[in-house]
Amino acid sequence: MSSRIGFVGLGIMGRPMAKNLLKAGHEVTVYDIMPSGMDDVAAAGAAKGASPKDVAGKTDIIITMVPDGPEVEQAVLGPNGVLEGAKKGAIVVDMSSINPTVSQRVGAACEAKGVEFLDAPVSGGEPKAIDGTLAIMVGGKKDVFDKVEPILKLMGSTVTLTGKIGAGNVTKLANQIMVACNIAAMGEALVLATKAGLDPEVVFNAVKAGLAGSTVLNVKAPMVYGRNFKPGFRIRLHQKDLRNALQAAESLKVSLPLTSTVQNMLIDLMNNGKGDLDHSALVQVIEEASAVEVKKP
């Protein structure tokens, strides 16, 4: 059975996610501050909304997918925001990656107006958004989750309820810490091997079936020695996620020494104009310090 779904935020991730809902036969109304995003998804069959408020007034489930917490608060709580148009009993699903405390604040505001809320950030980058195979981590009430799970499964291959509101984003931050530290460690290893005169592709093939093997290694190592830093997930977005992780850690009195180190590496890249490269470009910080470039001989 098709649902009336609103989708606010049509960036590199939001566009393919909204298109997958259309492909499944759902009626989708979209909004983005950039007209090009709406034009692209409208060409696939979506209706255009005039604002988040307008989108919410025409739909029963409203998905938001925007860059960070301030944008979520603006889109949901601000003037002409989702809550101004949402009907009582509507469900707001924020799929942005943000600070968990913001999710809890937005969830409380929704509850006060009789609107249900889930935080449901994703992992997998643009390729998995296109394929509909994202990993989706959800926080909120189980009965609300059960209602939207079939819709989320159109965008992700795994959809997991991880706890109360905010738990989805805590889980996403944990994911982002592991990915960032894994990429940084991979970069150090490939720089060492290259400086020692080895072919980094040979080293990759030698270790990938052992304990060091991982999805991160399989996807990112070929990008590094192939010198392909076209963004699947941008440096500036991963820096944002680690900033949120460190802020959450501070509030919980948790020490994240490796996360702090990798965050400084990401900031270094951003300060050198590389914020829109793929996060595999973390290797470039290590390359510069080591006077070597990871590439095939």
**Is a pLDDT exceeding 80 seen at residue 7?**
yes
- Tell me which of 172, 220, 240, 274 is the catalytic residue: 172
Pairing of strands 91-94, 156-163: unpaired
d(CA 35, CA 57) in angstroms, rounded, equals 20
Nearest Cα to 95, choosing from 164, 53, 34, 156?
Answer: 156
Q: Is there a single domain that holds both residue 93 and residue 10?
A: yes
Q: Is there a single domain that holds both residue 9 and residue 153?
A: yes
Buried b (16+ CB within 10 A) or exposed e, 171-194: bbbebbbebbbbbbbbbebbbbbb
Q: What is the pLDDT of residues 230-258, one digit of tens each?
A: 988 899 999 999 999 999 999 999 999 99
Q: Place 126 in a pLDDT band, splitting at 50, 70 and 90.
A: confident
The CATH number that applies at residue 29 is 3.40.50.720
Q: Is there a single domain that holds both residue 161 and residue 141?
A: yes
**Is a pLDDT exceeding 60 seen at residue 71?**
yes
Higher pLDDT: 1 or 269? It is: 269
Residues of the chain above pLDDT 90, percent: 96
Choosing from 165, 194, 229, the residue where a domain stops is 165
Output the 3-class SS for 69-97.
HHHHHHHHHCCCCHHHHCCCCCEEEECCC
Q: Cα–Cα distances in Å, from 19 out to 154, 205, 277?
A: 10, 36, 25
**Is a pLDDT exceeding 70 seen at residue 2?**
no
d(CA 101, CA 77) in angstroms, rounded, equals 15
Q: What is the pLDDT of residue 94?
A: 98
What is the model's pTM? 0.91
- Calculate mean pLDDT across residues 57-82: 97
Catalytic residue at 172? Answer: yes
Q: What is the pLDDT of residue 3?
A: 84
Structure tokens at 93: 């699903």
**Is a pLDDT exceeding 60 seen at residue 159?**
yes
- Does 229 reside within a domain? yes
Higher pLDDT: 279 or 3? It is: 279
The CATH number that applies at residue 282 is 1.10.1040.10
